[in-house]
Structure 1
Amino acid sequence: MAESTLAAVTDANFDELVLKADGPVLVDFWASWCAPCRQLAPILEEIATEKGEKLTILKMDADANPVTPAQFRVTGLPTMNLYYKGEVVRSIVGVRPKSAILKELEEHTA
């Protein structure tokens, strides 16, 4: 499987990269053992390519970074949380088609 081109975020730099970001940031909480997470990766890569100037997409390995997922009550993987101005404004759990994800994000990325 190809390595993701999306940048990773960790417990250590989450505040800086996500909560203090100027624009909307979508964080994909995933794990290497999670098959649906692997299905989601290429979809998010496409969205990142299309919406790059309006939306930052970061990936967080939930196994390697247990603090942040617990803090934001991430219980299932994959979970995508959209953060804006330090708040979770949208949470999407599970794999969805690209069109459905874009629809969920459109009010914050238009």
Structure 2
Amino acid sequence: MSLQTINSTNFRSGISRKGVTFVDFGAKWCPPCKVLLPILEELEREESSRLSILQVDCDESPEIAAEYGVMSMPTVIVFHNGEPVDKFIGLRPKGVYQAALERYA
């Protein structure tokens, strides 16, 4: 299973869903991003009824990264009902993301 990648064309529609959406800002060449990917994929499988996880490649969509102040990768921004409510910079353990889901779901 792979996370859906979004770009400037479909970013707004991607985050506008009701509920909780995590947006993973990273790049293909980023080693910590590669470590984070299976963690997020597992979380999405386990919580698919409550959570959507999307990816933004910062090399392909730098304007979205700039709009949300992404300065380092990976950065995961938590959206609730389309609004940014939390941000995690750097690689974090799965429990950090699970706690964020519990906070906003």
TM-score, normalising length from structure 1?
Answer: 0.90
Do residues 103 (structure 1) and 89 (structure 2) align? no
1:14 aligns with 2:11: yes
Identity fraction in percent: 36
Q: CA RMSD in A?
A: 1.1
Structure 1 residue 36, shift from structure 2 partner: 0.2
Match of 2:78 among 68, 79, 82: 82
Number of the residue aligned with 1:43? 39
Offset of 1:86 from its aligned partner? Answer: 2.5
Query: 1:56-92: per-residue Cα shift (whole Å, max 9, x none)?
Result: 0001101000111100111110000011122211101
* Number of equivalences: 105
The secondary structure found in structure 1 opposite 2:53 is: strand
SS of the aligned residue for 1:16 comes to helix
CA shift digits 1:1-48 (9 cap, x unpaired): xxx611111111111111x21121100001011100000000001100
Q: 1:61 aligns with which of 51, 57, 64?
A: 57
Displaced runs of 4 or more, over 6 A: none
The CA distance in 1 between the partners of 2:70 and 2:36, in whole Å, is: 17
Q: Which has the higher strand share?
A: 2
Secondary structure of the structure 1 residue equivalent to 2:40? helix
DSSP-derived class of the 1:53 partner: coil
Structure 2 alignment gaps of length 5 or more: none
The alpha carbon displacement at 1:104 in A equals: 2.7
Deviation at 1:108, TM superposition (A): 1.4
